[in-house]
Structures are given as structure tokens and as C-alpha cells.
Amino acid sequence: MTTAAALDAAPTPVDEDEFRALKAEVRAYVDHEGEAWTELIEAEHRVPSELWDELRARGYLSLAAPRSLGGRGLPFARYLELIELFSRPHASLRMIVHVSNGLWRAMLPHANAEQVERFVRPQVSGELRVAFTLTEPNAGTGADIKSSVVREGDTYYLSGQKHMITFGHSADYLLLAARLEGSRGGEGTVALMVPAHGEGVDNRLMADTMGVTGTDHAHLIFDRAPVPVANRLGAEGDGLEVAVGGFLVPSRISVAMTCVGLAGRALDLAVERAKQRETFGKPIAARQAISFRLAEMAADLEAARQLTLYAAQTWERDPATGAKESSMAKLVGSEMLQRVTDGALQVFGGMGFFKSPIERVYRDARAQRFEEGTVEVQKQTIARELLR
């Protein structure tokens, strides 16, 4: 059995012809099948298991994982080019691709050989659904988590609550951060693979969200839920490193590119509408107020894209760095997205207020201000790095 440390996690060099073909394939998928799934998810307020199966069969859930784990091994910055495309149809479709392609980064560096086979490989292949489980009702930044464990022999007993856990209700396992009872701050934290519907776990489906419909967010209550010590990733005290270091930094960059992709969809819809909609005998695109607004939106979007790619390249060069740049990309991207979607809705006028693609994009955009940390958390991270 291969040890985790011996696995080659390096990205595979990109064959540009193959990548162009893959990118064209993804673009065709999101424009056709992706839009059909969008209509179904919005109508039924759920993400069907068949969508997970389809994405898995196409290899879209293992694009970024190394070949040694059964993935495609795309370099991070090139993978982001695809995330931009996956962000154009329904936000829940993008969320599946995003989470599935990122969780192995948190798990692999801390997994032993047995855990690689039990958890990491099945997560990469899509056989095992894993939900990233950090946020709590009264704690959200990591170091302030209150969920705790008591160790008795070879078992931890987990107590506490988590909420707003994306795909937490349909998950097989929770990649969960808790702390040893009595510890404080980052000390004494542990990362555990917890069965999502196991003994002592009250797994409740939360109410529908404004946007990103169907992602079955879970509210989880743990009452001395037994978790084998063998399910701990890394050592005691490594919990926040697993959660934040392995997953959060690249995930924030991915969310920033999500903002770019969603803003691109909003801009395309606005341009098309501006050409079609007429007032006083001519298309509103011919009016300077509208054309200048569209130009500002395009420039805003491109600036966010380039900052995101810079953050990705910074992190790729040295995964131990990039916290500041990832937060900058997430901050700028999420704020840009609000401006662009607001401008696009304005182009549609009153028709944008009715159920439609632009109305859905507008709702989905709001969620990006919170995913992987609020605007205020990003500013806090940037300021801490500046003043270090």
C-alpha cells in the first residue's frame, strides 16, 4: 500500500491541444446540459443525484487531483479556467465541481496510507461524498470553534453544533474541525472524518436559501457522537491546519474565479438585452449611459480575473503562502460581482425582477459575499498579513 507521503501530488504538464479540447467540451456542456439542469434544480429546489453521477462519469469531479490519486492532474491556474466556465449555469452545479476538486488538498497531506485508501481516493473518484464542516452557529473563523471532543481509549466523543454546511445533508462523511475539550485558539484542534448520519449525529436539512438552490445545507448537532481515533487526519493540534491551510486558501481563489464566471454570464445577458431592448426607437445599447456602464462592467470583471490568476500563481509557487493574495482575490471578486450583476439587472429594467436567468444570477451572486469567509474576514486577513 502506498503511503500518503510517497504519493506524487504534483500537477501534470498540460498538453495545450488536449486542454483546448477539454475547455471546449466543458463550454458546450455548461451551455446545454448545464442549462437543462439549471431549469430542473430551480423548479424542484434540489440537486438530483443524477447530476452528481453525470459529473462523475464525465471526469469533472477529479480534474485537479493528481494522477496518483486517479485525477486528471491539472495545474491549479488551468483548472480555474474551467471553474470560470462551470460558474455560468446553476451555482449548485459549480459548487459540486468546486468542492469535489478541492477537498483532497486538505486531506492528502495529513492522511496515512490507510486513510488515503478509505477516504481520499474515494473522495477524488466521487464514490464518497465529503462535506467541509467548519462553520458553527456562533463561530465561523476557525480559531473560535466550540465543538469539542473527549478522548476515551480509541474513540473521540464529539459534542457541539455546525451549521450552513454545504451538501452536509447528503454527504457520506464530514471533514470536521473540532477541539479537544478545554483547549483554546488553534491549540488542541483536530480534523476528523465523521459519518454524516452516524450515531449521535442529528443531521437536519436547513431552510431554502435565497440563491445557490438545492445545496442541502445541514445543521448538525452532535451528542457524544463516537468517532474512531483512526478517523483523525494529522495529529492532535493540526485541525485548523487541515481545514485552513489545505483547503481554504485555494478554495478562496476558486471562489474568486467563480465570481468572474458568474459576472461574465451576467455581462453576456446584459449585452444581449441592451442590443434587443428599444426605447424611443433605438436599442438602449446605442445610448451612452448604457454602453459606458457595460464598458465599466467588462473592465471591472477583467481586473478581478487577472488578480485571481495572480493569486493562483502565487499559491502554486509556494502553497505555504498566498493567504493575503487569496483574500484579495476573493474580496475584489465578490465586490465586483455585486456591481456587475446590479448593473446587468438595471439594463433589464423591470423585466429583471421577474423569474429569469438574470434574476437567478443576481440571487446566486449574493452568496459569494459569504462563501469561504465574509468581506470583513477577507479584509481582516489582508490587514493581518500587511501588519505582520
Residues labelled catalytic? 372
Cβ neighbours for 139, distance < 8 A, ≥ 6 positions apart: 145, 146
What is the helix (H) or strand (E) element at residue 39, kind and residue range? helix 33-44
CA distance 242 to 132: 11
Angle at 210 between CA 368 and CA 253, to 5 degrees: 10
Residues forming a β-bridge with 174: 131, 194
Asked if residues 361 and 259 have their Cβ atoms less than 8 Å apart, the reply is no
Asked if residues 327 and 381 have their Cβ atoms less than 8 Å apart, the reply is yes
Cβ neighbours for 294, distance < 8 A, ≥ 6 positions apart: 267, 270, 271, 274, 285, 343, 347
What is the helix (H) or strand (E) element at residue 131, kind and residue range? strand 130-133
CA distance 264 to 268: 6
Biggest distance spanned by C-alpha atoms of the chain: 79
Nearest Cα to Cα of residue 219 among 237, 234, 205, 233: 205
Residue spans of beta strands (DSSP E) within 155-293 = 155-165, 173-180, 189-195, 201-205, 218-228, 232-233, 278-279, 282-283
Per-residue b/e over 358-383, b at no fewer than 16 CB within 10 Å? bbbbbbbbbbbbebbbbbebbeebbe
Cell 496518483 identifies what position? 68
CA distance 217 to 45: 12
